[in-house]
A and B are shown apart, each in its own frame.
Chain A
Amino acid sequence: MRAVLALAGLSALVLAPAPSAEGAGAGRPRVALSVSPAQLSLAAPASRRIKLRNDGAEPAVVDVSRRTVGGETAVKAWLQIVPVRLSLRAGESAILTLRARRFRRAEPGDHQVLVLLTTRPARGGRVNVQLRLGVRVRMRVPGRIVRRLRLGGLRVHRERGVRSMFVSVANRGNVTLQLRGHVTTSLVRRGKQLARLSPRARPALLPGTRAVLVLRYGGHVRGPVTAVVRVRLGSGLRVVERRYRVRL
């Protein structure tokens, strides 16, 4: 039931975007830009298309550029985008084509590129303001895929009735690992589960990056317990588990 409501909400968002691209310009912001999809994955070699729309009341010139994530400068050359410049009238849409090439020297796994869509600034003011949308592109190069996650230390922060536990996680593999919905945590004492906690964390962890899981416990149990953190690395894949002895 909740899922249906969520889908309805998402559909409503897409069906009725805030700054409407159609109809009269009355009430439309002067400068507005939208893109769909806002992130995508490619298994090189492959191509994908993204839709760009000028939702503003004024014409817009949009420059397209690429930026690497994590210092992999060579990755930028693997992704070709056409066109690199667009002129869009108010309400007009255009299609960008992304082609991921396969390079021999490319290491297997996921590589990230940010495609930046930037409006040209208006002229005439002392301070001109421009918009930029970033589209996250994940390119997967075939080969040996390594999924490796390291659960680091745990630190407890005590504040009034709430205990916050911070656990560092590091992606030591070569593919992006999903954290949202894949992490379970429980507090255990003498084999009895006292509570299950829902960790807060970024939804995904890129290769070679770190994140912090935040576990909040508002219950009444105090004293020594064991916090069991489990991360499922994917459907049907192994589970990384670490147990921490903590004092609440």
Chain B
Amino acid sequence: MSRVLLLALLAALLLFPTAARAGAAGVVVSQIYGGGGNAGATFRNDFVELFNGGSAPADVSGWTVQYATAAGTTWQTTALSGTIAAGRYYLVQLASNSDVGAALPPADATGTSNLGGTSGKIALVRGSAAITCGASAGSCSTEPLVEDLVGYGSASDFEGAGSAAGLSNTSAALRANDGCTDTGDNATDFSSGTPAPRNSASSAHACAGGASPGPSGSVNVDLDVASVLSVSLDRPSLSFGTFTFGDRPAPLPERVTVSSNDAAGYSLVVARTAFAPTDLPLALSATAPAGGALGGGLSGGVLVPIPIIPATGLTVGTKAAPSAAGGDVWATSIGFSSSLPLVATGRYTATVTFTALTR
């Protein structure tokens, strides 16, 4: 029912739009060519092509396209102006080494940056000041004004797992699907291909699932997503059977699944009551899900004694990020840290409590 309500809310927001506003998000670097004017070059000038894959016009006045060498952190800026319509391209013409190669189509902005022919870094920045990042992978991604970053060849910084392929005098870095693909990984979003510069007069391209380019209205959709935390067990109780002095019952599995959308992550703690009338050495081992970190002493699948309430619980693990979409599975096993001591006959019971809380 809650899902239906949420969908209804989304539908209502779409049907009753608030004031229209041009959005800047959605502009990416779609093509880079650094061989301009070099021997055998396809084009006379280096260029950077931008693409607005969003559904609203993007005002890029005051923005800059910035270039740094493969290992450098000194950036050269080229100022942009005007607006890029939804689904349209924007051509930034840069330096030329000679008259070798064909002339570019009319540029929408012009600069003097001389791009590396094989390697370098291009940043699209929502501001005019030169950035100073780029010394190591991921350093520019934390800059709040960097709208998009592309490292190519042996660049020291890039988005995602790796840089785009190295270029040549006859090849450009081309963002897949005519500029629509943006997974945040330069290595997979870009491929090397024949340079084909497009400017604001070039044919529009609509990304799949996006609005058709051309005259359009825009709508702001606003939604507050509340934090949610859930935890589940696959067994509400564990029975070890009948044992006697000196035995060590085999551990039993208990999968604990935690779902959290909090960016700060969560922690999972375990504690227990004592067995009555005499306590037994109940213990737990665990393996962490992807991105999770096991708590103290649990690495290597070791059985660690479970503290007895009111003592501080044993931290099974923590995660400093939201859980996976289907929840994080902490595969635990509950057993005994040593052989059973000599105790009176009878039925021994205890309660184990798994506690999940946001960090």
> Which residues does A use to contact B, with CB under 8 Å?
1-5, 7, 9-19, 21-22, 29-39, 53, 55-56, 58, 93, 114, 116, 118, 121-136, 180, 193-196, 198, 200, 202-204, 218-219
Tell me the smallest distance from the CB of B53 to a CB of chain A, in Å. Answer: 8
CA distance A58 to B359 in the complex (A): 29
With A and B bound together, what is the CA distance between A17 and B239 in angstroms? 30
In residues 149-201 of chain B, which contact A (Cβ within 8 Å)? 182, 184
Count of B interface residues, CB-CB < 8 Å: 65
Q: Which residues of B298-333 are within 8 A (CB) of A?
A: 320, 322-323, 325-327
B228:A36 contact, CB within 8 angstroms: yes
Say whether B202 faces chain A, with CB atoms less than 8 Å apart.
no
A12: chain B residues at CB < 8 Å are 325
B233/A131 in contact, CB under 8 A: yes
CB A144 to nearest CB in B, in angstroms, measures: 28
B133 with A18: CB separation less than 8 A:
no
Given A4-B25, A32-B231, A121-B236, A126-B132 contact (CB < 8 Å)? no
**6 sampled A-B residue pairs with Cβ under 8 A:** A18-B257, A18-B259, A35-B228, A116-B355, A121-B351, A129-B236
Within residues 1 to 45 of chain B, which ones have a CB less than 8 A from any CB in chain A? 1-3, 6-7, 25-26, 28
* Closest beta carbon of chain A to B60's beta carbon, Å: 15
A131 interface neighbour in B3, B228, B354, Cβ under 8 Å: B354
Q: Once the chains are docked, how many angstroms separate the CA of A126 from the CA of B282?
A: 11
Given A38-B262, A132-B353, A195-B136; A126-B229 close (CB under 8 Å): no
Residues on B with beta carbons closer than 8 Å to the beta carbon of A135: 229, 357
Do A196 and B133 contact each other (CB < 8 Å), given the known contacts A16-B325, A33-B231, A136-B358?
A: yes
- The answer on a CB contact under 8 Å between A1 and B262 is no
A201 to B240 CA separation, bound complex (whole angstroms): 41
Chain A's nearest CB lies how many Å from the CB of B273?
9
CB <8 Å contact, A127 and B230 = no
Chain B residues within an 8 Å CB radius of A7: 225
Contacting residues of chain B (116-170) with chain A, CB-CB under 8 angstroms: 132-133, 135-136, 138-139, 141-142, 148
Residues in chain A near residue B254, CB distance under 8 A: 129
Residues in A whose Cβ lies below 8 Å from that of B3? 15-16, 22
**Assembled-state Cα–Cα distance A5/B183 (Å):** 9
User: Does more than half of chain A's interface fall in helix, strand or loop, or is it mixed?
Assistant: mixed
Residues of A within 8 A of B229 (CB): 34-36, 38, 133, 135
In B242-259, the 8 Å CB interface with A consists of 254, 257, 259
Chain B residues, Cβ within 8 Å of A29: 232-234, 257
- Chain B's closest residue to A116 (CB) is B355
Partner of B334, one of A14, A127, A133: A127
Please, how many angstroms separate the alpha-carbon atoms of A37 and B238 in the complex? Answer: 31
**Distance in Å from the Cβ of A170 to the closest Cβ of chain B?**
19
Residue of A5, A126, A134 with highest tally of chain B CB at under 10 A: A126
Q: Is the CB of A30 within 8 A of B238?
A: no
User: Closest CB of chain A to B30's CB: distance in Å?
Assistant: 13
In the complex, whether B261 has a CB less than 8 A from a CB of chain A is yes
Q: Taking the nearest CB of chain B, how far is it from the CB of A219, in angstroms?
A: 6
Contacts of B325 in A (CB 8 A): 9, 12-13, 16, 18
Whether B230 lies near A11 (C-beta < 8 A) is no
Pick the contact of A36 from B141, B227, B320, B326 — CB < 8 Å?
A: B227
Q: Within the assembled complex, what's the spacing in Å between the Cα atoms of A36 and B231?
A: 12
One of A3, A11, A126 near B347 (C-beta < 8 A)? A126
| Distance between B21 CB and nearest chain A CB, rounded to angstroms | 16
Asked if B349 and A219 make an inter-chain contact with CB atoms under 8 angstroms apart, the answer reads no
Chain A positions within 8 Å of B26 at CB level? 1
Residues on B with beta carbons closer than 8 Å to the beta carbon of A33: 230-232
Residues of B within 8 A of A218 (CB): 136
Verify B28–A1 contact, CB threshold 8 A: yes
Q: Is the CB of B136 within 8 A of A18?
A: no
8 A-B pairs closest in CB distance: A125-B237, A134-B357, A34-B230, A32-B232, A18-B327, A38-B229, A29-B232, A122-B236
Are B228 and A30 within 8 A (Cβ)? no
Once the chains bind, are A11 and B358 in contact (CB under 8 Å)? Answer: no
Q: Does B103 contact A (CB under 8 A)?
A: no
- At the interface, yes or no: B260 with Cβ under 8 Å from chain A? yes
Q: Contact at B233–A55, with CB atoms within 8 Å? A: no
Question: Does B357 contact A136, Cβ atoms closer than 8 Å?
Answer: yes
Query: Is B226 an interface residue when CB atoms closer than 8 A count as contact?
Result: yes
Q: Is the CB–CB distance between A127 and B352 below 8 Å? A: yes
